Amino acid sequence: MLTIEDIRKIQLFAELAAPELERLAKASADLHLAAGEFAVPEGGDRALYGVISGKIQVVKMIDGIEKTLGWRNPGQIFGEVPITFGMAFVGGYRASEPSRVLRVELKDYYAVASASPSVAQEVGKLARERIGGLQGIAAERPKPRVSIVGTRWDSACAELRKFLTRNQISFEWMTPDAPDLGSKWPGPAPSDDQCPVLRVAPINPGSGEVQSLADGALLARPAARDLARALGLQTSPGPTEYDTVIIGGGPAGLAAAVYGASEGLHTLVVEREAPGGQAGTSSRIENYLGFPNGVSGDELAHRALQQAKRLGAEILVTRSVARMDPSSRQVHLDDGDVIRARTIILATGVSWRRLAVDGFEKLAGKGVQYGASRSDASGTHGLDVHLIGAGNSAGQAALHFANHARSVTLVVRGDSLDKSMSRYLIEQIAKQDNVKVLLQSEVVAAHGEAGLAAIDIRDNRGATVSRHDCGSLFVFIGADAETDWLPAEVARDDRGYVLTGDDVVKAGRWAGRRDPYLLESSVPGVFACGDVRLSPVKRVASAVGEGSMAIAFVHKYLQETR
Which of residues 230, 259, 286 is at a domain's end?
Answer: 230
Exposed/middle/buried for 462, CB within 10 Å: 0-12, 13-18, 19+? Answer: exposed
Q: Is residue 236 part of a domain?
A: no
Torsion sign (Cα): 460, 380, 61, 120? negative
Residues 27 and 91 in one domain: yes
Spatial distance between the Cα atoms of 99 and 91, rounded to a whole number of angstroms: 18
Residues 281 and 190 in one domain: no
End-to-end alpha carbon distance in the chain: 38
DSSP class of residue 471 equals: S
List the domain range (segments joined by +) for residue 36.
4-139
Alpha helices (H) in 57-140, listed in sequence order: 80-85, 106-115, 117-139
Quote the number of domains for the chain: 4
Q: Is residue 165 part of a domain?
A: yes
What CATH number is given to the structural domain containing 202? 3.40.30
Residues 410 and 264 in one domain: no
Residues 213 and 190 in one domain: yes
Residues 36 and 87 in one domain: yes
Residue 265 parent element (H or E): none
Spatial distance between the Cα atoms of 518 and 556, rounded to a whole number of angstroms: 12
Residues 327 and 289 in one domain: yes
Decide: 477 and 483 in contact? Cβ < 8 Å: no
Spatial distance between the Cα atoms of 100 and 326, rounded to a whole number of angstroms: 47
Residues 309 and 339 in one domain: yes
The gap from C-alpha 279 to its chain's centroid, in whole angstroms, comes to: 9
The angle subtended at Cα 501 by Cα 499 and Cα 506, nearest 5°, is: 75
Q: Is residue 424 part of a domain?
A: yes
Spatial distance between the Cα atoms of 474 and 158, rounded to a whole number of angstroms: 14
Return the CA Rg of the chain. 27
Question: 503: left (phi > 0), else alpha (psi -120 to 50), else beta?
Answer: alpha
Spatial distance between the Cα atoms of 199 and 186, rounded to a whole number of angstroms: 9
Residues 26 and 168 in one domain: no
- In this prediction the pTM is 0.80
Query: What is the largest distance, in Å, between two alpha-carbon atoms of the chain?
Result: 88
Beta strands in 403-511, from DSSP E residues, in sequence order = 407-411, 435-438, 441-447, 454-459, 464-469, 472-475, 479-480
Q: Is residue 235 part of a domain?
A: no
Residues 26 and 134 in one domain: yes
What CATH number is given to the structural domain containing 307? 3.50.50.60
Which of residues 95, 121, 139 is at a domain's end?
Answer: 139
Which of residues 202, 230, 258 is at a domain's end?
Answer: 230
What confidence score (pLDDT) does residue 379 get?
Answer: 80
Residues 471 and 488 in one domain: no
What confidence score (pLDDT) does residue 134 get?
Answer: 67
Question: 369: left (phi > 0), else alpha (psi -120 to 50), else beta?
Answer: beta
Q: What is the pLDDT along the chain (562 residues), one digit of tens a residue?
A: 899 999 999 999 999 999 899 989 999 999 999 998 999 988 888 999 999 999 999 998 776 677 888 999 999 999 999 999 998 898 899 999 999 999 999 999 999 999 899 999 999 999 988 887 666 665 556 678 899 999 888 888 888 988 888 887 888 898 888 888 888 887 788 887 789 999 998 877 655 566 667 667 889 999 999 999 998 889 999 888 999 999 999 999 999 999 999 999 999 999 998 888 777 667 677 777 887 877 777 778 888 888 898 899 999 999 999 999 998 999 999 988 999 999 999 999 888 888 999 999 999 888 999 888 777 777 888 899 999 999 988 998 999 899 999 999 999 999 999 988 999 999 999 999 999 999 999 999 999 988 899 999 999 998 899 999 999 999 998 888 989 999 999 999 999 999 999 999 999 999 989 999 999 999 999 999 999 999 988 788 899 999 999 999 999 999 998 7
Spatial distance between the Cα atoms of 116 and 111, rounded to a whole number of angstroms: 9
